[in-house]
């Protein structure tokens, strides 16, 4: 059974950076893409970007491209998202998800439990 386990709660000051991890178990890591989403308190889901670890290929939403870096360590079966220059509006639960595909259609099949990032002075 595939499980994605994310790192714990982070409290950060405005202007600092945060790096959240997502460790995969129970299945292949390199063969799949991993996406990152976030959800501000009481709000909907925003897709931020994704990585294909095997090819080290990334794709970002343009809104986050300047401040977000997604990476992966295949030896640790772990994906990461780093958000720089944090501001209060970045306070959210950050989710990783493994992308599944079938018949050319892709979807977020397995999700991590979420990591709460609080940005506050």
Partner 1 sequence: DIQMTQSPSSLSASIGDRVTITCRASQTISNYLNWYQQKPGQAPKLLIYAASTLQSGVPSRFSGSGSGTDFTLTITSLQPEDFATYYCQQSYRFPNTFGQGTNLEI
Q: Considering just the CA atoms, what is the radius of gyration of the chain in Å?
A: 14
Rule CB under 8 A: say whether 53 interacts with partner 1.
Answer: no
Rule CB under 8 A: say whether 111 interacts with partner 1.
Answer: yes
Rule CB under 8 A: say whether 94 interacts with partner 1.
Answer: no
Q: Binder to partner 1 among 1, 62, 75, 121 (CB under 8 A)? A: 62
Distances (CA, A) of 81 to 50, 60, 67, 104: 9, 11, 10, 26
Q: Binder to partner 1 among 16, 17, 28, 59 (CB under 8 A)? A: 59
d(CA 63, CA 85): 14
d(CA 7, CA 101): 26
Shortest distance in whole angstroms from residue 60 CB to partner 1:
8
Q: Which residues pair with 50 in a beta bridge?
A: 35, 59
- Which residues, 7 to 36, sit near partner 1 by CB under 8 A? 35
**Residues contributing to the site for partner 1 (CB under 8 A):** 35, 44-47, 59-62, 95, 97, 102-103, 105-109, 111-114
């Amino acid at each position: 059974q595939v499980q994605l386990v994310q790192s714990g709660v982070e409290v950060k000051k405005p202007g600092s950076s945060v790096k959240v991890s997502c460790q995969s178990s129970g299945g292949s890591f390199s063969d799949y893409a991993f996406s990152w989403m976030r959800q501000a308190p009481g709000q909907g889901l925003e897709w931020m970007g994704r990585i294909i670890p095997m090819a080290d290929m990334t794709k970002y939403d343009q809104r986050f491209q300047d401040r977000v870096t997604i990476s992966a360590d295949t030896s640790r079966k772990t994906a990461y998202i780093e958000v720089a220059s944090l501001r209060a509006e970045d306070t959210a639960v950050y989710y990783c998800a493994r992308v599944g595909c079938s018949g050319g259609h892709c979807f977020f099949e397995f999700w991590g439990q979420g990591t709460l990032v609080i940005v506050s002075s």
